[in-house]
């Protein structure tokens, strides 16, 4: 058991050793001349304008979640379309199953529409 895990353990030790060596070398060899320009948030020479953090409208997050929700449905449509012909012998069960899924998605879409989640003000 230990002999099977030895290559993984050796790889982890080498990886951690490399990271530690690189960090140590950059600290030892790297230049240490901090100045006012180097310590500024932007080294481009331009003064920063405005606040670094701005607030986003909650609408962006709602639209993003709705996009992800209705985009993921395609992940379920593709395998269904691939196996549809193979399972035609089951009768219309596989078709009704997908129609129920589409119906549930349609109910969710109509609910989001009625609640005003798709309207931008």
Instruction: Judge whether residue 9 has pLDDT over 80.
Output: yes
pLDDT, position 44 = 67
- What was the pLDDT predicted at 34? 75
Model's pTM, two decimal places? 0.51
Is 90 exceeded by the pLDDT of residue 71?
no
d(CA 66, CA 112): 8
pLDDT in tens, 79-109: 888 888 888 887 788 889 889 999 999 998 8
pLDDT band at residue 45 under the 50/70/90 scheme: low
Measure the CA–CA gap between 24 and 81, rounded to whole angstroms: 55
What is the Cα–Cα distance from 79 to 60, expressed in whole angstroms?
A: 31
- Of the ranges 17-26, 30-39, 62-71, the best mean pLDDT one: 17-26
- Asked whether 105 and 66 are in contact (CB, 8 A), the reply is no
CA distance 90 to 84: 10
Proportion of the chain above pLDDT 70, given as a percent:
92
pLDDT band of residue 43 (cuts 50, 70, 90) is low
Any idea what the Cα angle at residue 83 is, between residues 81 and 87, rounded to 5°? 120
User: Quick one: pLDDT band at residue 55, thresholds 50, 70, 90?
Assistant: confident
The pLDDT of residue 19 is 98
How far the first Cα of the chain sits from its last, in Å, is 63
């Amino acid at each position: 058991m230990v002999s099977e895990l030895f290559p993984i353990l050796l790889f982890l030790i080498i990886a951690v050793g490399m990271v530690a060596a690189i960090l140590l070398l950059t600290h030892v060899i790297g230049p240490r001349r901090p100045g006012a320009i180097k310590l500024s948030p932007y080294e481009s020479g331009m003064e920063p304008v405005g606040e670094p953090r701005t607030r986003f409208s909650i609408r962006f997050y709602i639209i993003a979640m709705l996009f992800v929700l209705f985009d993921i449905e395609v992940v379920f449509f593709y395998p269904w379309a691939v196996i549809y012909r193979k399972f035609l012998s089951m009768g219309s069960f596989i078709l009704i199953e997908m129609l129920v899924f589409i119906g549930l998605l349609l109910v969710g879409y109509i609910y989001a529409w009625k609640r005003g989640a798709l309207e931008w003000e």
